Amino acid sequence: MNTPHPAPAASPEALSQQAEAGVRRLEADLGRPFDANSERLSASLAVLASEQGLSRIDHFVLSERNAQVGQGELVFVVQGALGDPAQLRAHMRTEQAVAIPAAQSRERLRQLHEQHQLATPVQTPADPQLSR
């Protein structure tokens, strides 16, 4: 039986860099500069990815208008190919993401990383067996 193993936790710096790069691309695609809202959005998305067990952020996608949500109302982080049914993804309301101060998100990301480090058992080599 194959038991899935959780992905190794990405460093807070790696997730933060991936989130910022993705938000910079989103903003550029929308013809907007990276600003304070962008910084808060990227910091919030790094926390979201960490909380949801993503080990990296490969894609950022804004929601499309439909009967439930408006255009850009939700922002998604995706690990894996967009068309892959095994992709991992998480989402949050864009408005909520930009409302959280970046410093608060960075502190939360650091705490999550520390918690994961404490929860991950350290593997040591098996004790050598003495032969008689």
The string of pLDDT tens digits covering residues 15-59 is 999 999 999 999 999 999 999 999 999 999 999 999 999 999 999
Q: Which domain holds residue 42?
A: 12-115
Mean pLDDT on 98-115 = 95
Which pLDDT value is given to residue 14? 93
Whether residue 23 is contained in a domain is answered as yes
Query: Has residue 131 been placed in a domain?
Result: no
User: pTM score > 0.85 for this model?
Assistant: no
Domain count, the chain: 1
Contact status, residue 60 vs residue 18, Cβ threshold 8 Å: no
Q: Is residue 130 part of a domain?
A: no
Contact 54, 88 (CB under 8 A): yes
| Type of residue at 57 | I
Would residue 2 count as lying in a domain? no
Has residue 128 been placed in a domain?
Answer: no
Closest to 93 (Cα-Cα) out of 110, 127, 70: 70
User: Does residue 125 fall inside a structural domain?
Assistant: no
In a domain, 122, yes or no: no
Query: For residue 5, is it within any domain?
Result: no
End-to-end CA distance of the chain: 35
Which residue from 103, 100, 81 is spatially nearest to 92, judged by alpha carbons?
100
Q: Which runs of E-coded beta strand occur in the chain?
A: 59-62, 74-79, 88-93
